[in-house]
Amino acid sequence: MSMQAGELAFAHGICVAGKCRVTRCGTRTLTDPSPKEFERLAKELDLERYQCLTVLPATDYQLLLVDAPNVPAIELKNAVRWRLKDMLDFRVDDATVDVLDIPVEAGGSARGHSMYAVAARNETIERCITRFTEAHVPLSVIDIVETAQRNIAALFEPPARGVGMIYLGARQALLTVNFRGELYLARRIDVGAEQLADTASDHDEARNRILLELQRSLDHLDRQFPFVTMARLMVAPEPSDTGLAAYLAANLDLPVEQARLADVVEFGPEAALPGDAAWRLFHVIGAALRNETKAL
């Protein structure tokens, strides 16, 4: 689930033997931000029955690419914390840090091994935990949108091929690249659905900015991870047809397809996606399909 802008978004997912099902999803209005209101909604949704996780807004954390320290696993987070001290816009002592590995090629050298570090202010994490504790909601995981998007993109992966996915948020786009279920690239692009829907904007210029960032990102991926052969780029559900998928298909040297969630996920009778719900709930659904064997 996620809470922002006066709304609680939720999804319940089950993945067994590679088959994923969403049994419930939707939104509820938060009339006020008090714990009592959240507790009321928690009882309405019967949340105590479930293993609950929340998705942080992208503005609440930083995702940074770092060189993997050559240290034992037990020392990894502290070693990464030290590397972040000059990369954060706040004191590293005030940060909660986690890591997400980027696997090297099977049988290849570990030289140049990279990983993603996730850093959020301690007060942000504490505030999130307190919100759930005061509402008596069992919180087991705090997730991020990049890994939620990875979970859905992984369902579209062909064997031994990489797949890219771009999600057009209200003000930013998020590009991710998966390979064998792992996140190899994540990049935010400062063009969103609002700009493409604005009649006063130059839509071709906005789409071209996305195209250029995609090309640069895929070139970077090819240099850093030549063993990742891209199969296609998936365009996640949009609030309305922006023409982005057709534009990218005409200008990228890569197959471009619309990502239809119903092609890879079974939706139960309480999990309808009317209107732009697939767009609004996209990352909440992705988080609900989280593979517990993966970090984050």
Q: What is the pLDDT of residues 219-252, one digit of tens each?
A: 999 999 999 999 999 999 999 999 999 999 999 9
The mean per-residue pLDDT over the stretch 9-33 comes to: 91
Where do the DSSP E strands lie in the chain? 2-4, 7-16, 19-29, 52-55, 62-67, 95-101, 114-121, 139-143, 162-168, 173-179, 182-189, 230-235, 256-258, 265-270
* Pairwise pLDDT comparison (32 vs 143), residue with the higher score: 143
Neighbouring residues of 71: CB distance < 8 A, sequence distance ≥ 6: 79
Give pLDDT, residue 214.
97
pLDDT level of residue 109 (50, 70, 90 thresholds): low
d(CA 294, CA 287): 12
Q: Is 214 exposed, middle or buried (0-12, 13-18, 19+ CB in 10 A)?
A: buried
For CATH 3.30.420.40, the residue range(s) in the chain are: 158-258
For CATH 3.30.420.380, the residue range(s) in the chain are: 58-126
- With beta carbons less than 8 A apart as the criterion, state whether 189 and 75 touch: no
Q: Are strands 19-29 and 265-270 parallel, antiparallel or unpaired?
A: parallel
CATH assignment, 58-126: 3.30.420.380
Q: What is the pLDDT of residues 48-86, one digit of tens each?
A: 889 899 999 999 999 999 999 988 888 898 899 989 988
* Pairwise pLDDT comparison (202 vs 94), residue with the higher score: 94
Q: Classify domain 158-258 at the CATH superfamily level.
A: ATPase, nucleotide binding domain (3.30.420.40)
Strands, sheet with 114-121, edge to edge from the N-terminal-most edge strand = 62-67, 114-121, 95-101
Greatest pairwise CA separation for the chain in angstroms = 55
